[in-house]
């Protein structure tokens, strides 16, 4: 961790992840866009994909994955921030509705994040 020297938003986009759905034991994969408004501390940019990978390696659901990444950042950095994930679920393509190419977006927001969320949607 490093001391924050300003209040500029930090955004890491398109962090790819692969996980296994705990409900169907089928893969899901996607991208997480992680953004936070620094409090007193920041972390190295390479640590964000490592945090995502740590939680994605478990049997998982997308909603919990997003929440766990957001909670880890909040506990470590005490920022004001947001996490957005987009994923494709093979359980939707192979079972049930058999919908191919549809993606699911989940947001895990913490604190005052309206400005950050707007910035992430523009980029």
Q: Verify whether residue 62 is a known catalytic residue.
A: yes
Sequence-separated (6 or more) residues with CB below 8 Å from residue 17: 29, 30, 31, 32, 52, 53, 56, 65, 85, 87
Q: Verify whether residue 21 is a known catalytic residue.
A: yes
Q: Verify whether residue 22 is a known catalytic residue.
A: yes
Q: Verify whether residue 33 is a known catalytic residue.
A: no
Q: Which of 33, 60, 62, 88 is catalytic?
A: 62
Q: Which of 16, 22, 41, 63 is catalytic?
A: 22
Q: Verify whether residue 29 is a known catalytic residue.
A: no
Q: Verify whether residue 100 is a known catalytic residue.
A: no
Question: CA–CA separation, 74 vs 26, rounded Å?
Answer: 30
Question: CA–CA separation, 64 vs 8, rounded Å?
Answer: 27
Q: Which of 16, 23, 63, 115 is catalytic?
A: 23
Q: Which of 33, 60, 89, 113 is catalytic?
A: 89
Question: CA–CA separation, 21 vs 28, rounded Å?
Answer: 6
Q: Verify whether residue 7 is a known catalytic residue.
A: no
Residues with active-site annotation: 21-24, 62, 89, 91
């Amino acid at each position: 961790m490093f001391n924050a020297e300003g209040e500029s938003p930090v955004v890491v986009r398109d962090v790819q992840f692969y996980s296994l759905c705990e409900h169907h034991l089928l893969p899901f994969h996607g991208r997480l866009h992680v953004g936070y408004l620094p409090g007193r501390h920041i972390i190295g940019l390479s640590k964000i994909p490592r945090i995502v990978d740590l939680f994605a390696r478990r049997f998982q659901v997308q909603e919990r994955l997003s929440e766990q990444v957001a909670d880890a950042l909040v506990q470590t950095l005490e920022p004001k921030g947001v996490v957005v994930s987009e994923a494709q679920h093979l359980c939707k393509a192979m079972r049930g509705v058999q919908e191919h190419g549809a993606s699911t977006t989940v947001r895990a927001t913490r604190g005052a994040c309206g400005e950050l969320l707007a910035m992430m949607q523009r980029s």
